[in-house]
Amino acid sequence: MLWKNSDPFGTVPSHTRADFAASVGRVMDEARAVLHRLERIETLEREGAPTRSVLAEVHALLAEAEAWVAVERDGTDLAEQALRRCRDTVATRGGDEQAAEAVPG
């Protein structure tokens, strides 16, 4: 055996490839969480859920979107600007409604 970590063909897996695959998987997980949360918010609105329930889901959406932007490497400038505006709005109006908890995940 030429190298300790080589495969039967004598090649050594690239550390970069392993990181890339893990990064893609994490980005996809974060993206799925955001899309799932958006679907949940749409369902709550369609069903006429109380405003505080929808707002709790929106707060959770912001946290999930921030996580998604944090792992996404390129093209997030517009998303970051939108998140900043949302955070600013929540900060200025945060005390208007009673707190409610979002459904996990």
Domain boundaries, the chain: 16-93
The DSSP letter of residue 4 is T
Distances (CA, A) of 86 to 12, 23, 60, 82, 89: 46, 26, 12, 6, 5
Q: Which CATH number fits domain 16-93: 1.20.272, 1.10.287, 1.10.1060, 1.20.58?
A: 1.20.58
Cα–Cα dist 95/105, whole Å: 24
- Kindly report whether the global pTM for this prediction surpasses the value 0.75: no
Q: Tens place of pLDDT for every residue, the chain, 105 residues?
A: 444 555 555 555 554 444 444 456 677 788 888 889 999 999 999 999 999 999 899 889 888 888 888 887 677 888 888 888 888 887 887 655 555 566 666
Quick one: pLDDT at residue 18? Answer: 46
**CB atoms near residue 29 (< 10 Å):** 13
The pLDDT, as a whole number, for residue 44 is: 93
